[in-house]
Chain A
Amino acid sequence: MARIERGPMRWLRHLDPILLMLVLAVLAISVAVMTSASGQSTARISGHLINIGLALTVMVVMANVPPHLLSKAGPPLYAAGVVLLIGVALFGEIRNGSRRWLDFGVIAFQPSELLKLALPLMLAWYFQRNEAVLGSRHFAIGGALLLVPFLLILRQPDLGTALMIGASGFYLLFFAGLPWKAILVGGALAGASLPLAWRFMHDYQQQRVLTLLDPASDPLGAGYHIIQSTIAIGSGGLFGKGWMEGTQNQLDFIPERTTDFIFAVFGEEFGYVGAILLTALYLAIVARGLTIAARAPTQFGRLMAATLSLNLFTYAFVNIGMVSGILPVVGVPLPLMSYGGTALVALLLGVGILMSVATHRQLNKT
């Protein structure tokens, strides 16, 4: 078997070449845009390159972890995450008006980040165990597993993260076969509860939604970000102003332009053609992910691959939607593009899992 191969190259056997190429293409674009957005700041560019290197390493490692081992990590990670969330609710530190952080002295930590991976793992493990006997009981338990962390994060309050984690859990339930009837009823219930939710929203959350509906109402405050990023994108036109030629970017009009608003820089300098290309790359990654899911030999692999793929695109959609002014401003980075080590590592960790699922076909066949 392949295991007898020796030398450092044997680690690379588990990489999926198509996925790798697509990811590297987006990362290459991110380096170019980062160069422009940071004003050729050596610190920012090298920081980004280091993050990429670190994240790619994590990806390679994850690609080599067989899915059946990974699935075993689900319950303990999930349990630890929930315990920590309860810890946050009881002893957490308040920053910017919400209780999200656990301070361990040397390191401050947001347990909600852990759940982004732990929840799908837990659910995939659970549905793997109950493969072939799935019934409504299992979906009810799956739903409960989803709701516990969702509600804990919601009351921190951190609506954005709660929704993103809720979405990943929902995708998993959906791929596991959650009945359409349940989806429709749940959707209707959620829709009906919107006015109620509005009442429970904090002022700043309501403000974000209002700002989205009419950015001009507060042009120098909350609306400033949206106004300036839409101006940047719109002024880019069909072909863009050219790399390092975006005036909105170069003259500091785009806020947070190496992190959450990097798409505004990209849209300004590379135009609609660039946006189509980037969207196409994301779609290709999703398509490859869904193909991996379709070919995966195990329930766990199928569910994880499909969920991770949809998750990645959801992040891209929420970020671009926010920067181009059709979604409220929530702190969601653009996958593979925004500056930030944690997000990049988490993303490529997911890609590593996809690759693991893609390349551990025979090894785990039951």
Chain B
Amino acid sequence: MSVVASLKNLDRELARFHGRLKAGAFFVALLAAVLLARGYYLQVAQHDYYIQRAENNRISLVPTAPNRGLILDHKDRILAENYSAYTLEVARAQTPDLEATLAEVGRLIEITPGQLRRFRRLLGESHEFETVPLKSKLTDEEVAILAANRYRLPGVEVKARLFRNYQAGPGMAHVVGFIGRINDRDLKTLRESGRERNYKGSVHIGKTGLEQSYEALLHGRTGFDQMETDASGRAVRMLSRIPPVPGKDLRLYLDLDLQAVAEHAFGDYLGGLVALDPQTGGVLAMVSKPGFDPNLFVDGIDPEAWKALNESAERPMVNRALRGIYPPGSTIKPLMALAGLELGVRRPGDSIVDPGYFMLPNSRHQYRDWKRGGHGVVDLRKSIAQSCDTYYYRLAVDMGIDRMHDYLAQFGFGEKSGIDLEGESSGLLPSRDWKQRRWKKPWYVGETVIAGIGQGYHLTTPLQLATATAMLANGGKRIEPRLVEAIRDPFSHAWQVLPPTVRGQVKIDPANLAVVRQGMLDVMRPGGTAAAAAAGAAYAIAGKTGTAQVVGIKQGARYDESRLARHHRDHALFIAYAPADDPKIAIAVLVENGGHGGGTAAPIARAVMDYYLTGKRPGTMKLEATSDGAD
């Protein structure tokens, strides 16, 4: 190649190189533009989004659980209170070998088989990342032992937790209820009601009783510490703090002493009792026997203890006062009598001659009176005093089921009373419509006959009976029964008394009511069915006995209490209010398998009324009865 050609080539290559340099510069400028565009997108266009994400990264809210409100009786005695205790908890996710860790912990401190069973149950119910309590209420020594051996026990934590103590014992368990660990179902409820955030720091929630129904007031508001945290979740510093607001305290109408008297009066019998203030609807005492120890539930119950409670034939977990449903029996008679007068079916002076049974026209079936041979000439007052069945068989037929249903419904039968507890049963007030709906069958007049004496389909709770009795006492004012009298603000410490909720007023002719009340007074006088229970009372009692059949008695057969197994005996019922001229307490008692109302149920009511109205305790009762419940 010639030098000239070579130089020419050289020039051409150099020119091409300069062109390539420009292309290279353009390429670099293009890449730079891409970077700057991306930077603009992230740092200018999307800045707000990313600054929020950076803040979310950085700031975490650490919840502080509020102190739960106290529950106090009428005299400010504590029924439910908080205490702080050290708990041994295990974080499964951080425990490489759970069994080995449990064994090691068991060597260091005492773990009972019950605690282990409870732990395993809670383990099954909890999520992988949750910590599960193994033992609560650690002693100082146990805390020290665990602290010293911490390095050998990965995932084992000792935490200070708030607990609940129910020192009033099994007798108050149904009223106060208990709190328990928040489970998946609770979480779902909280989420759906938008309250989940307020439970961020909480372990417990009210499960039954007042703890459940007043959960919103008792719980308080969770506080939040706004912490700056690093990538590993360690808190670096506190940015701001919203302190928790403690829950409100509750004061009940219920008096622990009165409650103890009532419980004691039951003796070995099971059953339910509700005592109301007829003017306010305040629940003065509410008994459901047997009770149970609510403290077992606070940190999760050991499965065997739960099985024992749940499978017991005595069904201690059922609050008989508001969930037990029984035929009202003869306790319905004062209201039947009032209905007869008010509806114009009977006049006070109308009387019948009772042969000891009642027969429908064109029927040979005998509806028998409880008294063989009958009560003779019976007017309305005497029909109540002696609980004459025949009088009410006929009255019911004359009134008809429709009018009977509508009248009794005004007194709250077949409907929830609206008490401030959950799980109340509405009972059953039968009607033609109901039977058609439920059984697709017409109403038979024979069913009207037995409805007249509170048998048949009619089912009621002791609470409904007490509410109806309070209406007889206060002249027909229907007030919702309520346990909580007042709530206390955690800051001002001022009690705010809750006003009674009046649902309505049944219009009753005072003259008619007076006749019925006279009948109820006669019940407690010589010749009445509960005369013995009123003997020596310093005030006048208006009452009515009742009996609810547990097993049916065949036509022509006789009920013989002594030949029946105890659990087949009739339930004894009694309703009353006192003092008759200025009623301060209305009461309904149900004694399961107690036989006659006058014999077992009325004396219990008497003991309660005695203590409430005169301060007199039953002679057999020791003075410190209120403290035996405490553990």
* A contact residues vs B (CB 8 Å cutoff): 131-134, 171, 174-177, 228, 230-238, 247-248, 251-253, 267, 271-272, 275-276, 279, 282-283, 286-287, 290, 293-294, 299, 302, 306, 309-310, 313-314, 317, 320-321, 324-326
Q: Would A321 and B38 be within 8 Å (CB), given that A234-B43, A293-B21, A313-B28 are in contact?
A: yes
Q: Which residue of A lies closest to B7 (CB)?
A: A132
One digit per residue, 1 when the CB lies within 8 angstroms of any chain A CB and 0 when it does not, for chain B 170-185 equals: 0000000000000000
Q: Would A234 and B51 be within 8 Å (CB), given that A247-B57, A267-B39, A272-B39 are in contact?
A: yes
* Residues 200-236 of B contacting A (Cβ, < 8 Å): 228-232, 236
| A residues near B241, Cβ cutoff 8 Å | none
In the assembled complex, the Cα of A68 lies from the Cα of B109 at a distance in Å of 82
Q: Would A235 and B39 be within 8 Å (CB), given that A252-B232, A294-B21, A310-B28 are in contact?
A: no
In the assembled complex, the Cα of A238 lies from the Cα of B51 at a distance in Å of 12
B434 at the interface (CB under 8 A from A): no
One digit per residue, 1 when the CB lies within 8 angstroms of any chain A CB and 0 when it does not, for chain B 1-44 equals: 10000110110010011101101110111011011101110111
| A residues near B10, Cβ cutoff 8 Å | 131-132
| 5 pairs of residues in contact across A and B, judged by CB atoms under 8 Å | A177-B13, A230-B50, A234-B51, A279-B39, A324-B39
| B residues near A175, Cβ cutoff 8 Å | 17, 20-21, 24
Q: Would A283 and B44 be within 8 Å (CB), given that A133-B9, A235-B53 are in contact?
A: no
In the assembled complex, the Cα of A282 lies from the Cα of B31 at a distance in Å of 12
| A residues near B58, Cβ cutoff 8 Å | 247-248, 251, 253
Q: What are the 3 tightest A-B residue pairs by CB atom distance, in nearest-first order?
A: A234-B50, A235-B54, A252-B231
Say whether B50 contacts A287, CB under 8 Å: no
| B residues near A294, Cβ cutoff 8 Å | 18, 21
Q: Would A313 and B31 be within 8 Å (CB), given that A174-B24, A267-B39, A326-B38 are in contact?
A: yes
| A residues near B42, Cβ cutoff 8 Å | 230, 233-234, 267, 324-325
B83 at the interface (CB under 8 A from A): no
A-B contacts counted at CB < 8 A amount to 144
In the assembled complex, the Cα of A131 lies from the Cα of B8 at a distance in Å of 12
B112 at the interface (CB under 8 A from A): no
**Mostly helix, strand, loop or mixed at chain B's interface?**
helix
Q: Which residue of A lies closest to B47 (CB)?
A: A237
In the assembled complex, the Cα of A249 lies from the Cα of B58 at a distance in Å of 11
Query: Out of B25, B47, B53, B231, which one reaches A287, CB within 8 Å?
Result: B25
| B residues near A299, Cβ cutoff 8 Å | 13
In the assembled complex, the Cα of A286 lies from the Cα of B53 at a distance in Å of 36
| B residues near A251, Cβ cutoff 8 Å | 57-58, 228-231, 236
| B residues near A228, Cβ cutoff 8 Å | 57
Known: A248-B58, A267-B39, A267-B42. 13 other contacts (CB 8 A): A132-B9, A175-B20, A234-B47, A234-B49, A234-B51, A235-B53, A248-B57, A253-B58, A272-B44, A275-B39, A290-B25, A294-B21, A306-B21
- Count B interface residues, CB 8 Å: 44
In the assembled complex, the Cα of A251 lies from the Cα of B13 at a distance in Å of 55
Query: Out of B35, B36, B53, B236, which one reaches A231, CB within 8 Å?
Result: B53
| A residues near B51, Cβ cutoff 8 Å | 234-235, 237
Say whether A271 contacts B28, CB under 8 Å: no
Say whether A248 contacts B21, CB under 8 Å: no
Say whether B50 contacts A276, CB under 8 Å: no
B46 at the interface (CB under 8 A from A): yes
Say whether A310 contacts B43, CB under 8 Å: no
| B residues near A276, Cβ cutoff 8 Å | 36, 39
| B residues near A326, Cβ cutoff 8 Å | 34, 38
A197 CB to closest chain B CB (Å) equals 22
| B residues near A238, Cβ cutoff 8 Å | 43-44, 47
In the assembled complex, the Cα of A248 lies from the Cα of B32 at a distance in Å of 25
Say whether A317 contacts B35, CB under 8 Å: yes
The winner among B24, B55, B236 for most chain A CB atoms within 10 A is: B24
Query: Out of A275, A309, A320, which one reaches B43, CB within 8 Å?
Result: A275
| A residues near B21, Cβ cutoff 8 Å | 175, 290, 293-294, 306
In the assembled complex, the Cα of A247 lies from the Cα of B327 at a distance in Å of 71
| B residues near A313, Cβ cutoff 8 Å | 28, 31-32
Say whether A134 contacts B13, CB under 8 Å: yes
Say whether B28 contacts A286, CB under 8 Å: yes
Q: Would A177 and B54 be within 8 Å (CB), given that A251-B228, A317-B35 are in contact?
A: no
Say whether B36 contacts A275, CB under 8 Å: yes
Q: Would A283 and B54 be within 8 Å (CB), given that A235-B47, A302-B17 are in contact?
A: no
In the assembled complex, the Cα of A293 lies from the Cα of B25 at a distance in Å of 12
In the assembled complex, the Cα of A287 lies from the Cα of B46 at a distance in Å of 31
* Residues 361-408 of B contacting A (Cβ, < 8 Å): none
Say whether B54 contacts A248, CB under 8 Å: yes
Q: Which residue of A lies closest to B40 (CB)?
A: A272
Q: Which residue of A lies closest to B8 (CB)?
A: A132
| B residues near A275, Cβ cutoff 8 Å | 35-36, 39, 43
The winner among B34, B43, B229 for most chain A CB atoms within 10 A is: B43
In the assembled complex, the Cα of A275 lies from the Cα of B40 at a distance in Å of 10
Q: Would A279 and B54 be within 8 Å (CB), given that A238-B44, A313-B28 are in contact?
A: no
In the assembled complex, the Cα of A302 lies from the Cα of B35 at a distance in Å of 27
| B residues near A253, Cβ cutoff 8 Å | 54, 57-58, 230-231
| B residues near A290, Cβ cutoff 8 Å | 21, 24-25
| A residues near B34, Cβ cutoff 8 Å | 317, 321, 326
One digit per residue, 1 when the CB lies within 8 angstroms of any chain A CB and 0 when it does not, for chain B 125-145 equals: 000000000000000000000
B373 CB to closest chain A CB (Å) equals 88
| A residues near B32, Cβ cutoff 8 Å | 279, 282-283, 313, 317
